[in-house]
């Protein structure tokens, strides 16, 4: 069912770009790989990046979740984990671009869902390939499809269309495991990226995982089909779900999201087991993160991400393991950003960390062990501007000008919301006292509002000054098409 649904809704938009796309499984630059660059090191270590789409930090065991997630947790328990890591934008294109480049989306240029990651961006794969590594990616997500720029630097980039459906975690693991087993022992060092999609809407876990979060055995039911058919209007569900779903249905959907989290953890567990069996777990530099979270009813936003800037969609797990460098159980507090992942992974693997990245190298802090604090205190967040639904009651201004901006400064967060030409609503939250962002302090005369507003102005001006301005990189600028990007109607 799900495969048919995605194929139908996405067919029109994919067709127009098909002629320009690379084959779905591609081998890139084999000639360039031979004799290009010198190995980092010595000795070069394998580097493995595992990302899970739409995984909220509070659904991860290390973050205190009641859900058992031993496979995600292994990366942090045996290395370091960030208690408060954040996505720059709560969408895949923007956040994954930041993971791969160490740049804020306004710097790497993929700042709208479905946009292309420009050639000017330099990915981790390109850097490792230049260093003599073999590079491979096993991916699932339509906006990361070959031709969208995320394949830059990969010798092998596999993201076949049948895997753009939700139940793909075990397929992705299977292909990555087969690739690992096929590699000759003692071959070139490698950079491997595996990306999972299952916790993304629709929430339709396999029955054995559905039963783990819903002992009644009711399972996913037909909600996804009702949304797809229009019987439950998608936009109305996103912003006013209680008007179209019963409390029991809302609860059931949330349980199925949790089941998808467990399903993906099981698939990651198979990958971890293979890495251990083949001797890579102890030898490699390993990174684990999600690209963004998911709103599950907070702030009247249901089963989505990308249109608001609350921490339900910005707070992400981020973990790093590097045996012999990071003491097990290291915890890093403070403001950690997805942009920090790339420079830190490069440093841990002995590769040069390029100057000019937005992200900072956390390796010197992580090597201390115990509980350490991030050297950066601020993060700038933005909402998407391409996939914005008409039903959103809080986005009265269209396009780029309608984007929400937010500045996180320590435990304070200012959100600026355009409501008309030159007019903004503001929200200020003390995240230490109010992590749910329910008490708006902006109108209370707090001096912090003005201070954060000025700081956001400075930081955003700097980001925009350096941002690529060529909208030609927008692979799919048609909003009507973007509305159907893997999300149903």
List interacting residues with Zn ion (CB under 5 A).
Answer: 53, 92, 291
Residue facing Zn ion at closest CB distance? 92
CB of 222 to Zn ion, least distance (A): 25
Could you tell me which residues come within 8 angstroms of residue 272 by beta carbon, excluding any fewer than 6 positions away? 71, 74, 281
Write the DSSP string, 110-154. Answer: --STT----TTS--HHHHHHHTT-EEEEE---GGG-TTSSTTTT-
Looking at beta carbons only, is 142 or 336 nearer to Zn ion? Answer: 142
CB of 198 to Zn ion, least distance (A): 11
Q: 17 near 176, Cβ under 8 Å?
A: no
Looking at beta carbons only, is 13 or 56 nearer to Zn ion? Answer: 56
Write the DSSP symbol of residue 389.
-
Looking at beta carbons only, is 109 or 306 nearer to Zn ion? Answer: 306
Distance CA(388)–CA(265), nearest Å, equals 30
CB of 487 to Zn ion, least distance (A): 11
CB of 457 to Zn ion, least distance (A): 29
CB of 39 to Zn ion, least distance (A): 33
Could you tell me which residues come within 8 angstroms of residue 113 by beta carbon, excluding any fewer than 6 positions away? 91, 92, 93, 94, 143, 306, 384, 386, 387, 482, 485
Distance CA(437)–CA(413), nearest Å, equals 9
Looking at beta carbons only, is 258 or 291 nearer to Zn ion? Answer: 291
CB of 87 to Zn ion, least distance (A): 9
Q: Which of 185, 200, 191, 219 is nearest to 124 (CA)?
A: 191
Looking at beta carbons only, is 104 or 416 nearer to Zn ion? Answer: 104
Looking at beta carbons only, is 338 or 456 nearer to Zn ion? Answer: 338
Looking at beta carbons only, is 280 or 487 nearer to Zn ion? Answer: 487
Looking at beta carbons only, is 291 or 311 nearer to Zn ion? Answer: 291
Distance CA(245)–CA(258), nearest Å, equals 19
Distance CA(216)–CA(415), nearest Å, equals 41
CB of 264 to Zn ion, least distance (A): 13
CB of 92 to Zn ion, least distance (A): 3
Distance CA(301)–CA(389), nearest Å, equals 12
Half-sphere exposure (CA, 13 Å, Cβ side) for 91?
Answer: 28
Looking at beta carbons only, is 349 or 475 nearer to Zn ion? Answer: 475
Looking at beta carbons only, is 302 or 429 nearer to Zn ion? Answer: 302
CB of 458 to Zn ion, least distance (A): 29
CB of 88 to Zn ion, least distance (A): 13
Looking at beta carbons only, is 53 or 358 nearer to Zn ion? Answer: 53
Q: Which residue has the tokens 């969408």?
A: 91
CB of 126 to Zn ion, least distance (A): 22
CB of 195 to Zn ion, least distance (A): 9
CB of 370 to Zn ion, least distance (A): 32
Looking at beta carbons only, is 53 or 311 nearer to Zn ion? Answer: 53
Looking at beta carbons only, is 53 or 340 nearer to Zn ion? Answer: 53
């Amino acid at each position: 069912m799900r495969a048919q649904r995605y194929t139908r809704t996405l067919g029109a938009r994919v067709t127009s770009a098909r002629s320009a796309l690379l084959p779905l499984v591609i081998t890139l630059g084999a000639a360039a790989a031979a004799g290009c660059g010198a190995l980092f090191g010595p000795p070069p270590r394998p580097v493995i990046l595992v990302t899970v789409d739409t995984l909220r930090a509070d659904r991860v065991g290390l973050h205190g979740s009641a859900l058992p997630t031993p496979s995600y947790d292994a990366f942090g328990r045996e290395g370091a984990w960030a208690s408060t890591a954040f996505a720059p934008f709560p969408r895949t294109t923007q956040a994954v671009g930041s993971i791969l480049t160490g740049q804020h989306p306004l710097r790497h240029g993929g700042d709208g869902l479905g946009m292309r990651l420009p050639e000017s961006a330099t990915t981790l794969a390109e850097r490792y390939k230049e260093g003599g590594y073999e590079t491979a990616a096993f991916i699932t997500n339509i906006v990361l499809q070959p031709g969208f720029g995320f394949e830059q630097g990969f010798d092998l980039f596999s993201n076949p269309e049948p895997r753009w459906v939700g139940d793909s975690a075990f397929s992705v693991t299977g292909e990555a495991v087969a690739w690992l087993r096929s590699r000759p022992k003692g071959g070139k060092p490698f950079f491997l990226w595996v990306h999972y999609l299952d916790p993304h809407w629709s929430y339709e876990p396999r029955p054995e995982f559905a039963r783990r979060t819903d002992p009644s055995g009711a399972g996913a039911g037909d909600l996804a089909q009702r949304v797809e058919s229009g019987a439950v209007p998608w936009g109305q569900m996103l912003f006013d779900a209680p008007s179209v779903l019963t409390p029991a249905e809302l609860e059931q959907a949330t349980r199925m999201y949790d089941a998808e989290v467990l399903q993906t953890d099981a698939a990651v567990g198979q990958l971890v087991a293979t890495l251990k069996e083949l001797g890579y777990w102890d030898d490699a530099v390993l990174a684990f993160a999600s690209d963004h979270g998911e709103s599950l009813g907070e702030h009247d936003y249901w089963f989505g991400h990308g249109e608001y800037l609350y921490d339900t969609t910005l707070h992400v797990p981020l973990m790093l393991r590097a045996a012999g460098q990071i003491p097990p159980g290291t915890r890093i507090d403070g403001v950690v950003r997805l942009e920090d992942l790339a420079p830190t992974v490069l440093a841990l693997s002995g590769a040069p960390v390029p100057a000019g990245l937005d992200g900072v190298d956390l390796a010197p802090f992580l090597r201390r062990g115990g509980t350490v604090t991030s050297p950066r205190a601020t993060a700038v967040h933005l909402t998407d501007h391409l996939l914005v639904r008409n039903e959103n009651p809080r986005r009265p201004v269209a396009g780029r000008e309608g984007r929400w901006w937010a500045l996180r400064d320590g435990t304070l967060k200012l959100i600026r919301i355009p409501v008309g030409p030159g007019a903004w609503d503001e929200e200020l939250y003390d995240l230490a006292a109010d992590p749910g962002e329910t008490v708006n302090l902006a109108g209370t005369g707090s001096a912090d509002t003005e201070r954060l507003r000025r700081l956001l102005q400075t930081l955003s001006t700097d980001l925009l000054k350096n941002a690529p301005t060529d909208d030609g990189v927008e692979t799919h600028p048609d909003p009507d098409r973007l509305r159907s990007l893997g999300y149903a109607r």
